[in-house]
Amino acid sequence: MQVTLEQVEPCIVAVTVEVDAEAVQQTIDRVFKEVAGKVAVPGFRKGKAPRSILERFVDQEAVRERAISQLVPEHFAQALREKGVEPFAPPEVSIESFEVGQPLRFTATVPTRPEVRLCDYRDLPVRRRRVEISDADVDLELDLLRRRHTELVDADAEVAGSGLVAIVDLDLYRGERHLKKRSQTDVALDMDQTDMVPAFNVAIEGARIGETREMPVHFPDDFQDPVLAGKDVTFKITVKALKTKQVPELNDEFAQKVSDVADLAALRDQIRQQLEESAREVAEREVRDQLVEQVVSRSEVHFPEVLVQEQTAEMLRRQASELERQNLTIDDFLRSREIDFPTYERELREDARRRIRTQLVLEQIAEQEKIEVTDEEIDQEIERMASSAGVSSSAIRAAFEKQNSLAGLRTSIFFRKVVDLLVQSARIVEE
């Protein structure tokens, strides 16, 4: 057997194998006997007719294909061992010549393992944003907190208009048919909202309590609800009550109501601490992201396209599964984004390439630094999650086991430890 190896591109080799004629003939003879033993020849018992006669009754193409199916895997595996090639996925085989009495020659193009040449990943320079929380930041957060605790109180008004919130029932009709499942009760309509679609608040402008107004609506063809998509419907809007917004005053009483502090000053301090902690977390995430981006972009990474294909298919599968849980289809999703499937698939493929590059680089660092995740570290992570969620660690572990996702937790800890190492060895400059 003669073997030649050609590096077609990074992580792709072409293995050309020539099997000598004698080995080819022996395989053909063996296959012929196997096939001939099952062929009935008039005047002879099975397997007893002379070969010259059998050849007229045996499907020679079937013999040829069966011989190839035995010769190629056997000699391809032998060729890989001889050249020290470790295949990463099944090969694409091309038969170049196969004739009786002649050598078999074939070429197998096979993906090989990814190759990563790491950059110097220690002492990388990175900037970290300085955390500075101003009084204006605290004031803004306090104002948002007040608005979140806004209450609706009865208004001294009989007509829906500016400054009010109307409590209404929305009854949906298609022709004379009342669509009860898509109708709603006690819906709060802010009369000053400018981006409401459909604009129910505009339709009831000037309506009195107890009054019902009708509003025709045409739903677009790509609307996610198939019952309504492309349909003309009518909303009957009944005004049940009129309210005003009562935003609480910013004082010690409000502070005690929304928190466990004694007064407004303590609430301001608490909010400042929360904002600082949140800002520090954001700054740390940015540092980690910058370091990963640097080490990946500076490293040389090659991998076979089959990895991208597999990752893209898995991402599509997960997306379809998530949409199914929402009673949506991939077509609904594409319409909502106003893109076609080829465009979306290209996006996924590029995302898959980025993920694969990152994963391969971080795995190579882990291998070089001998980073592993112990069972004790998994236990500690589960304890941390349980404490944060206010539940028992056994409940968290049971949830992971039920979803078969303990391996995913281990992977998450694994990559976090790799990035921790990058952070520890980086040159971090405060901006």
**Over 80: is that where the pLDDT of 367 sits?**
yes
CB 29 within 8 A of CB 101: no
Peptide bond into 10 cis (omega under 30): no
Record: fold of 151-246:
Chitinase A; domain 3 (3.10.50)
d(CA 211, CA 167): 12
**Average pLDDT of 273-284?**
96
Tell me which CATH homologous superfamily contains domain 2-113.
Answer: Trigger factor ribosome-binding domain (3.30.70.1050)
Confidence grade of residue 323 (pLDDT, cut at 50, 70, 90): confident
240 in helix, strand or coil? strand
- How wide is the angle at C-alpha 45 spanned by C-alphas 44 and 49, nearest 5°? 50
User: Among the residues of 327-391, which ranges form H helices?
Assistant: 330-337, 341-369, 375-389
Burial class (CB in 10 A: 0-12, 13-18, 19+), 398: exposed
* Residue 93 backbone dihedrals phi, psi, to 5 degrees: -105, 135
Confidence grade of residue 1 (pLDDT, cut at 50, 70, 90): confident
Domain spans of the chain, in order of start: 2-113, 151-246, 283-430
Instruction: Give the tokens for residue 113.
Output: 């393992």
Among candidate residues 107, 75, 96, 98, the one with its CA nearest the CA of residue 1: 75
Mean pLDDT rounded to a whole number for the chain: 91
d(CA 98, CA 29): 14
155 in helix, strand or coil? coil
Residue 224 DSSP label: S
Q: What is the pTM of this model?
A: 0.75
17 in helix, strand or coil? strand
Each residue's pLDDT tens digit, 202-248 = 999 999 999 999 999 999 887 878 888 889 999 999 999 999 999 99
CATH number for region 283-430 = 1.10.3120.10
